[in-house]
Amino acid sequence: MNGILEKVGLRIREVRLHKGLTQEKIGEIVGVSYSYIGRIERGQKNISLGMLEKIANALNVNESQFFTYSNEAELVTEKDKQIKAIIAALYNQDARSIYKAKHILFEALKQFNE
């Protein structure tokens, strides 16, 4: 990951997850679809400063929070990245799907540990 869109998008996702909010909720607050928020978080959408401000307001943070990635991003291990990816995927699911995914994951982990 080296482009600014990807770095800012990852940082938006990190802040959103830290706040415990879904893409759907942020999209609802700023007036866009959850898939648009997803494209922003993946660095696939070049957003305006106005949209960045709206997202910051929805997350109740200063816009500068999205530009504090330089040292932190390099310190994230591959394990951390994989865990964050799993968490991000779960945030897009309803409670029932998360419950099922938890059981599948736990069963798979039991098999790995045997």
DSSP state of 29: H
pLDDT recorded at residue 2: 57
> Are residues 15 and 48 located together in one domain of the fold?
yes
Average pLDDT, integer, range 7-16: 90
CATH label of the domain that carries residue 53: 1.10.260.40
Residues 15, 65 within the same domain: yes
Query: Do 39 and 68 belong to one domain?
Result: yes
For 15, other C-beta atoms within 10 Å of its C-beta total 19
55 and 17 fall within a common domain: yes
pTM confidence score: 0.60
pLDDT, tens digit (0-9, with 9 covering 90-100), for 37-65 = 999 999 999 999 999 999 999 998 988 88
> Are 87 and 64 members of one domain?
no
Domain range for 107 is 77-114
Domain count, the chain: 2
Do 31 and 51 fall into the same domain? yes
Higher pLDDT among residues 32 and 65, named by residue: 32
59 vs 71, residue with greater confidence: 59
Q: In which band, very low, low, confident or very high, does the pLDDT at 87 lie, cut at 50, 70 and 90?
A: confident
**Nearest alpha-carbon partner for 35 in 24, 25, 43:** 24
